[in-house]
Structure 1
Amino acid sequence: MEASPEDRIRAGLRRGDLDEVRDRLLARSLPEQVALLERLAPADRAVVYRLLPRGRAFEVFTRLDAPLQRELLEALQEEEVRGVVDDLDPDDRVRLLDELPATVARRLLAGLTPQEQDATGLVMGYPSGSVGRLMSPELVVLDAAATAAQARDTVRSRLETAETVYMLPVVTAGRLTGVVGLRRLLAADDDVPVAALAREPVAVDARVPAEEAARLCAREKLVALPVVDGDRRPVGVFTFDDALDVLEAAEDEDVARSGGAEPLGRPYLSTPVRAVYRARIVWLLVLGVGATLTVRVLEAFEATLEQMVVLSVFIPLLIGTGGNTGNQAATTVTRALALGDVRVRDGARVALRELRTGALLGASLGTAGLVGVGLLYGWDVGLVIGLTLLVVCSLAATVGGLMPVLARALRVDPAVFSNPFITTFVDASGLVVYFLVAAAVLGL
């Protein structure tokens, strides 16, 4: 099998043939170069990074996750580090500084120009996790009283430093009163006032959680979202690419926690095994303790199982079906909460909808269980399985739908109430229902 470009670059590194590595590296596209650096060991990553031209090296660096940026800086010389940090936008710089030790971060900040220090300090002044922490303070603000010609001159003067010029905030007496798109501004006659071109702004306070701002940006299909302070004064801009990064990170977190783990926060192959271990072990211990509930239920109904051993055959079917039903409901409602389709006050409506849905599912599965099990093991056992599936599916769907709403009410990430927790609860309660139905139907 022909070696991949990545394997050839690794082989060149082992031989010390840096000319070959450089040629193969420069033949790759920017996304391929980023993917390559993500998969290399830290020492090799630093060597390959130094082989990139300065402009391309900076582009590659900005696309790496913050933990990989930190590892790369640790392997570079101080002069190289300062060059990279100086070129970063304030929001990207803050993201990197958050990853670095405090002493290193202070030293790098001290080396910035006063203007860059002020811009970086503004972003760092907002709470972690807020949109203010991710915004760019490098925005172009237009005065509502200015003419279109004057506004275009303002935009041209800031083209090199502004984060974006496609969405331009409009202010009156310093406060945000509208926004105007670049296309509309370019098409306007010179003497038209900016106020006549502006439309109602969609803006967000700098202290709002970044995920909430990102979902607003996606919902309104905005290229950029103005960020304002408590007095409605524009302090920054939150662009769609940063919004996509936030939504991707939130999705990664939800997927990881729904599977009973913590998000890695970096590419899998570049994550140390110790970090993967830490992301999983705590959840496994917690869920292991929760699973003891199932064991206690089995112990409590041990006599019932001894009287009719055939009941034990269907335990995996019942608890598996209940867990899957609860997980489906939890996933659906968690998604609805994230999109704003469901709010905390909708808890009763969610419970009723999931109860009805679970009952329909349980009736369908219970009928199939009644017929299938009845033909093979007897109609009395089939009736036990059918009734249990009806009750378990109804219970699991209701609990699975309510848990994310309860989490949001408690101001906890709904993903923390993850599917493994729901499965553990449904396992224990489902077994109780199973044995109670069996005792009633079979007279045990």
Structure 2
Amino acid sequence: MNQSVGQREVENRILKLLTEGDLKQLGSVIQDVPADDIVLIIERLGAKQQAVVFRLLHKDEALDVFEALDPLVQSDLVRGLRDGEVAEIFEGLDPDDRVWLLDELPATLAPKLLHGLSERERRLTSVVLGYPQDSVGRRMTPEYVTTRMDYTVADTMARLRDRIDDAETIYMLPVLDDARHIAGVVSLRDLIAAEPDAIIASIMSEAQSVEATEDAEHAARKLTEAGFVAIPVVDRERRLVGLLTFDDAMRIIEHEESEDSARQGGVEPLRRPYFATPIMQLVRSRVVWLLVLAVGATLTVQVLDVFEGTLAEVTVLALFVPLLIGTGGNTGNQAATTVTRALALGDVKARDIARVLGREARVGAMLGLLLGTLGFLIAGFVYSWQIGAVIGLTLVAICTVAATIGGIMPLVARWVKVDPAVFSNPFISTFVDASGLIIYFLIARAILGL
């Protein structure tokens, strides 16, 4: 998110006052800053500075700011606040937001915070905590308003007014039968438009729902693609247990896509804003991947060593090595990114591996023909037509292999229950580098008679 000039000036002033320890002036400055800007500023501060700034906020604004922070930043902030402050904030959170925070806190701190909740809030939070870590049940809200098929619109509106302060959303109401099974849904818009004595069964719509143990990302995408404001979460008997709201769905998707993009780039996800991440954590998020890729890159070195004689006889071949392995790596990464995205959207399943292999092989071959033709013409004109033939055929082969491997690697990862992003770009690049060089030198030997 881009910072405005005014926001940067405020941030610089806050940092200056923090450094000088002028808390009285700092408190005065903070009171005039909108909550959204305070969130951005806090996420760019160190843990100790975050706690100082947060304590200077008004009580009402503090909860709004806290709820808008990333869960890991919330976790850092909790450790910097006094027990009484933490208990008050924790009580004011929605149950699903509490669970986001609890998932990031040390296990020893969670029971203490739960014990300090009121009986009602502890019960609601325990419902959400009872579901698996990556399930939609873990991200749903148990605070909602329902109606029944035989209720009138007037009855439902009265029920809504009585419970409006307890519900996280009022724009979509689940309609239940006598056994608490989902019978349909009714929107606030339909309620307002209907006659007061109309029966809910006559205006409700068919309900789409997700099971509480379903993967949270899959459920979130189902909600956003359908354009719902919320979607009912049910148990195996289709009894209502909660709602997944649109804002929580977007939060889930943002979290998952941040992880995927990080791993595709060869780093572990930070899961917190950049400036709020300690230097050593930045180092740890990168060093393991660099070591793994460095070990993998020794394959490329070994291949070059095996074909050292070939390079010595035709030194011009060395000039094209960066071009060929770079093109192969990019082709594989493009295929992996496309298929990983299709997996996330549900367009492709792990069982579709044969179909994906065939499609990506054809795509790779076509890309190879286009690039290979260009490579043949340029290399042939500048060096010789034999060299041009080597480059052209190598590009066809490398692009075909890279696209095929890149396309099926995420499916293999899903099949063995590993994050597809982990298997994609870094490992594909390493594999294609080595295999591409082997293809290159074998074609060169065959055409040049080496």
Q: SS of the counterpart of 1:401?
A: helix
Q: Which residue of 2 aligns with 1:272?
A: 278
Equivalent residue for 2:135, pick from 103, 122, 130: 130
2:87 to 82, 88, 99: 82
What does residue 13 of structure 2 align with? 8
Deviation at 1:339, TM superposition (A): 1.4
Choose from 402, 408, 430 the match for 1:396: 402
Instruction: Report whether the alignment pairs 1:261 with 2:262.
Output: no
Cα distance in 1 between the residues matched to 2:161 and 2:47? 41
Asked if 1:284 corresponds to 2:290, the answer is yes
- Residue 92 of structure 1 corresponds to 97
Equivalent in 101, 108, 113 of residue 108 of structure 1 = 113
Q: Secondary structure at the match of 1:99?
A: coil
Q: Structure 2 residue aligned with 1:319, among 303, 307, 325? A: 325
- Between the aligned partners of 1:425 and 1:85, the Cα distance in structure 2 is 48
Aligned to 1:251: 257
Task: Supply the distance in 1 between the matched residues of 2:43 and 2:177 (Cα, whole angstroms).
Answer: 46
With 307-316 and 2-11 compared, the bigger mean Cα shift is at: 2-11
Pair 1:121-2:133 in alignment: no
Would you say 1:163 and 2:168 are equivalent positions? yes
Distance 1:260 1:99 in 2: 23
SS in 2 for 1:208: coil
In structure 2, the residue matched to 1:190 is: 196
1-side partners of 2:29 and 2:45: how far apart?
A: 15
The answer for unaligned runs of 5 or more in structure 2 is none
Q: Is 2:218 the partner of 1:212?
A: yes
How far the C-alpha of 1:55 sits from its partner, in A, is: 0.6
Tell me which residue corresponds to 1:332: 338
The answer for the alignment partner of 1:44 in structure 2 is 49
How many pairs are equivalent? 444
Gaps of 5+ in 1: none
- Aligned-partner residue type, residue 92 of structure 2: D
Tell me, in whole angstroms, the C-alpha distance in 1 between the residues paired with 2:351 and 2:45: 49
Instruction: Give the Å deviation of 1:135.
Output: 0.7
Spell out the pairing of 1:136-155 with structure 2 (5 A cutoff).
136-155=141-160
Structure 1 residues 319-375: Cα deviation after superposition (integer angstroms, max 9, x where no partner) = 001111111111111111111222223322222222221111111111111111112
Deviation per residue, 1:80-100 (Å, 9 max, x gap): 111101111111111212222
Contact 2:380/2:386 (8 A) holds in 1 = yes
Q: By how many angstroms is 1:216 displaced? A: 0.4
Aligned partner of 1:26 in structure 2 is 31
1:260–1:418 contact (8 Å) kept in structure 2: no
Do the aligned partners of 2:406 and 2:424 also contact (CA within 8 Å) in 1? no
Q: Does 1:387 align with 2:393?
A: yes
1:66 equivalent among 64, 71, 85: 71
Mapped to 2, the partners of 1:410 and 1:438 lie a distance apart of 37
Name the CA distance, whole Å, in 1 between partners of 2:286 and 2:306. 31
Cα distance in 1 for residues equivalent to 2:388 and 2:105? 62
Q: Is the 8 A contact 1:391 1:433 kept in 2?
A: yes
Counterpart CA distance in 2 for 1:368 and 1:104 is 62
Q: 1:297 aligns with which of 281, 289, 303?
A: 303
Quote the offset at 1:69 in angstroms: 1.1
- C-alpha displacement of 1:113: 1.3
What is the distance in 2 between the residues matched to 1:43 and 1:294? Answer: 46
User: Which letter maps to 2:260?
Assistant: D
Q: Is 351-360 or 418-427 further displaced after alignment?
A: 351-360
Give the distance between the partners of 1:379 and 1:53, measured in 2 at CA. 76
Paired letter, 2:66: F
* 1:174-196 C-alpha deviation (Å, 9 max, x unpaired): 11111110110122122221111
Alignment of 1:361-440 (within 5 A): 361-440=367-446
Residue by residue, what CA displacement relative to the aligned partner does 1:388-431 show, whole Å, maximum 9, x if unpaired? 01111111111111111222222222111121111111111111
Q: TM-score normalized by structure 1?
A: 0.97
Note if contact 1:224-1:240 (Cα within 8 Å) is conserved in structure 2. Answer: yes
**Aligned equivalents of 2:216 and 2:248: distance in 1?**
10
Measured in 2, the distance between the counterparts of 1:353 and 1:277 equals 39
Structure 1 CA distance for aligned equivalents of residues 31 and 325 of structure 2: 55
Alignment-derived partner of residue 179 in structure 1:
185
Q: Is the 8 A contact 2:364 2:403 kept in 1?
A: yes
| Distance (whole Å) between structure 1 residues aligned to residue 416 and residue 135 of structure 2 | 19
**SS of the counterpart of 2:103?**
helix
Identical columns (%): 53
Distance between the aligned counterparts of 1:28 and 1:211, measured in 2? 34
Give the aligned partner of residue 238 of structure 2. Answer: 232
Which AA in structure 2 matches 1:185? L
Aligned-partner residue type, residue 71 of structure 1: D
Shift of 1:211: 0.4
Where do 1:343-358 residues align within 5 Å? 343-358=349-364
1:264 corresponds to which letter in structure 2? Answer: L
Compute the displacement of 1:219 (Å): 1.0
Q: 2:61 aligns with which of 50, 56, 65?
A: 56
